[in-house]
Chain A
Amino acid sequence: MKTWQRYSSIILPILAVAALAIWPTITGKAANRESVFTILKAVALASSLNILLGYTGYVSFGHIVFYGFGGYVGLYLLTEQEWSLWTALLAGGLASGLLAFLLGSAILRLRGAYFALATIGINEAMKAFINNFELFGGPTGITLNFSVYKPYGGAAQALQTSFYIAAGLAFLAILLSHFVRTSKFGLGLLAIRENEDAAEVMGVHAPKAKTWAYVLSAIIPGMIGVLFFFKNGNVEPHDAFPLHASIELLVMVMLGGQGTVLGPILGAFAYQGMRGFLVTSDFFKDIQLSVSGALLLMIVLFIPAGAIGWLRHRVPTLRRVLA
């Protein structure tokens, strides 16, 4: 019974991601594969951000910095050092984790709005730095040579492989999210979210716990960055560090329900679905981001706990399954 309870909350998330991952294979359409790739990428990013935002209660407006930085490190290693995609993925993730460790030690002593502002500053500072960093190609960025795809069976096969890796990373992200949520470490994070001072008085080593939460929330975005820009073929500063993408991630986590494993998955799926509809519609295609902004406002005003949080609140019997 205990074991069942412990793992029950991960069943729905796994089923959801598995359904997404096999959907393109069933339909056999390349276009489906590409839109599902975008969703899987969003699931992995949003679930990672949730460790910091949902569990620890720290709002990061610049989480995309880890995606961009990891992507740059990965592409540099792929082109200049001729590393394989696998080692580059790992290195990109670790580089972002290390960046989070260093940043976290410095800015996680800030709380609330001050931390949020600092994260915006970091994203912009990183963009400016990379713009002037010759090793990473400065403003023109890094472009992959077509021959990079050869070991992966050519460009077309590489796209397929990238899709499977994205699915793998999305799984990894939700498993990580689940293990953090159900661990003692996670309980410490939740305590920090609810009241950091009280948590410290009870013995939670808040500076250390927050830093590790930040690191864990940065690693998978770093790997996703490597994967995306590998698939994309090039990386430039404005593609790597778009501030609006950080805010879109916040919308996804808030929409689905922060602090739950399933919430960010649902949020990523719903948001990407909505975005897909908006950018293809004649009326909304230019004001798509305003719709996200309005959506964020509505969530904060009316369902601050997100869809899953709202359901948990309304139907207490669902709590075990929707943890």
Chain B
Amino acid sequence: MTILLSLQGVSKRFGGLQALLSVTFDLPQGQILGLIGPNGAGKTTLFNAINGIHPPESGRIIFRDKDVTGFKPYQLAKMGMARTHQIVRPLNELSVRENVMVGACFGHENQDLSNASKIAEEVLEFVGLTIRTDQLAGSLNVAQKKRLEMARALAAHPYLLLLDEVLAGLNHSEIDNMIQTVLKIREQGITIIMIEHVMKAMMNVSDRIVVLDYGQQIAEGNPEAITNDPKVIEAYLGDPRLAERLLEEV
């Protein structure tokens, strides 16, 4: 299996806060990697490190057999990396179509305007935004904006897609739709790393899961192994034995 992305000892510090400490994993092509952890564990920071917004202080990031540590976001986009943002960033005064065209035009396929327009139509149909094509992006609701983020990223036809909480703020039926969309993206051969708090969805979709807590990688494995890992339970719920002991003392 070819390794698409490899993180080797990636660390990042913001002043006195160690946001990431020696995160290391390999991501084989075509897989979905889930990234979970309590609030403030460094999940989005890890995305920012991978796609060049906040380059790591130490460690290396290898993407498609090339050391890309310290590369700028636009260079990585050109190499085939795309992402969505936890807090959506629509280009408000541009139409939905134009938003998606930006992804196609400046992503790694470097399409011209007329091809980009065709790709935009395909991708918008794929994420179910066709009827919004000529609306201004600013007029969409949150769920639609999340789909737009996804459409923009997909329009680049990336090798690697970073999805940052695309399910957050969506209702049940919207979550189900979005999960179907994510699975369909994988069928196209796109490798995905996703950050999510909706555990059930995460367990169903991910091939493998990495758990972060206070910037450290505390567990890695398949979904079943992760749910039974005491360290993971402790990170989320506190120490289970401590609770038992406290109960016994009473």
Physical interaction between A and B: yes
Q: Which residues of A contact B (CB under 8 A)?
A: 183-184, 187-188, 190-191, 193-195, 197-206, 259
For window 39-55 of B, CB contacts with A under 8 Å fall at: 51, 53
B-chain residues with CB within 8 Å of residue A184 when the two chains form the complex? 105, 112-113, 116
Given contacts A203-B74, A203-B77, A204-B74, contact A190 B91 (CB under 8 A): yes
Given contacts A184-B113, A187-B113, A194-B92, contact A201 B98 (CB under 8 A): no
Q: Is the CB of A201 within 8 A of B73?
A: yes
For residue A199, which residue of chain B has the nearest CB?
Answer: B102
Given contacts A197-B89, A202-B77, contact A190 B103 (CB under 8 A): no
For residue B91, which residue of chain A has the nearest CB?
Answer: A194
Q: Is the CB of A202 within 8 A of B102?
A: yes
B-chain residues with CB within 8 Å of residue A201 when the two chains form the complex? 51, 53, 73-74, 77, 82-83, 85
Check: B211 CB closer than 8 A to any chain A CB.
no
B-chain residues with CB within 8 Å of residue A193 when the two chains form the complex? 93
Give Cα distance in the complex from A202 to B105, angstroms. Answer: 9
Give Cα distance in the complex from A259 to B136, angstroms. Answer: 15
User: Which 10 pairs across A and B sit closest by C-beta, in order of nearness?
Assistant: A203-B77, A203-B106, A194-B91, A198-B89, A200-B73, A191-B102, A205-B74, A201-B73, A204-B106, A200-B74
Q: Is the CB of B77 within 8 A of A190?
A: no
> B61-104 vs A: 1/0 string, CB under 8 Å?
00000000000111001100011010001111110001001110
A-chain residues with CB within 8 Å of residue B93 when the two chains form the complex? 190, 193-194, 259
For residue A205, which residue of chain B has the nearest CB?
Answer: B74
Give Cα distance in the complex from A183 to B156, angstroms. Answer: 18
Least Cβ distance of B74 to chain A in Å? 5
Least Cβ distance of B61 to chain A in Å? 16
Q: Per a CB cutoff under 8 Å, which of A195, A197, A202 touches B106?
A: A202
List 22 A-B residue pairs with CB atoms under 8 Å apart, sorted by A's residue number.
Answer: A187-B102, A187-B113, A190-B91, A190-B93, A190-B94, A191-B91, A191-B102, A194-B92, A195-B91, A197-B73, A200-B72, A200-B73, A200-B74, A201-B74, A201-B77, A202-B102, A202-B106, A202-B153, A203-B74, A203-B107, A203-B156, A204-B74
Q: Per a CB cutoff under 8 Å, which of A187, A198, A206 touches B98?
A: A187
Q: Is the CB of A187 within 8 A of B101?
A: yes
Besides the known contacts A187-B101, A201-B82, 19 further A-B residue pairs in the complex with CB atoms under 8 A apart? A187-B105, A187-B113, A190-B98, A194-B90, A195-B90, A197-B53, A198-B85, A199-B91, A200-B72, A200-B73, A201-B73, A201-B77, A202-B77, A202-B153, A203-B77, A203-B106, A203-B107, A204-B106, A206-B74
Give Cα distance in the complex from A125 to B179, angstroms. Answer: 57
How many A-B residue pairs lie within 8 Å, measured between CB atoms? 76
Most buried by A among B72, B85, B106: B106
Q: Is the CB of A202 within 8 A of B98?
A: no
A-chain residues with CB within 8 Å of residue B89 when the two chains form the complex? 195, 197-198
Check: B12 CB closer than 8 A to any chain A CB.
no
A-chain residues with CB within 8 Å of residue B60 when the two chains form the complex? none
B-chain residues with CB within 8 Å of residue A187 when the two chains form the complex? 98, 101-102, 105, 113
For residue B105, which residue of chain A has the nearest CB?
Answer: A184
For residue B85, which residue of chain A has the nearest CB?
Answer: A198
Most buried by B among A183, A198, A201: A201
For residue B103, which residue of chain A has the nearest CB?
Answer: A202
Give Cα distance in the complex from A191 to B82, angstroms. Answer: 16
A-chain residues with CB within 8 Å of residue B51 when the two chains form the complex? 201
Least Cβ distance of B17 to chain A in Å? 21
Check: B147 CB closer than 8 A to any chain A CB.
no
Give Cα distance in the complex from A206 to B107, angstroms. Answer: 13
Given contacts A183-B113, A184-B113, A187-B113, contact A203 B91 (CB under 8 A): no
B-chain residues with CB within 8 Å of residue A205 when the two chains form the complex? 74, 106
Q: Is the CB of B94 within 8 A of A203?
A: no
Least Cβ distance of A316 to chain B in Å? 9
B-chain residues with CB within 8 Å of residue A203 when the two chains form the complex? 73-74, 77-78, 103, 106-108, 156
Give Cα distance in the complex from A184 to B107, angstroms. Answer: 12
Least Cβ distance of A212 to chain B in Å? 14
Q: Is the CB of A198 within 8 A of B74?
A: no
Q: Per a CB cutoff under 8 Å, which of B94, B113, B116, B153 touches A191?
A: B94
Least Cβ distance of B126 to chain A in Å? 17
For residue A259, which residue of chain B has the nearest CB?
Answer: B93
Give Cα distance in the complex from A51 to B93, angstroms. Answer: 16
Give Cα distance in the complex from A193 to B112, angstroms. Answer: 20
B-chain residues with CB within 8 Å of residue A259 when the two chains form the complex? 93
A-chain residues with CB within 8 Å of residue B90 when the two chains form the complex? 194-195
Most buried by B among A183, A197, A203, A206: A203
Check: B146 CB closer than 8 A to any chain A CB.
no
Give Cα distance in the complex from A259 to B116, angstroms. Answer: 22
Least Cβ distance of B112 to chain A in Å? 6
Least Cβ distance of A317 to chain B in Å? 12
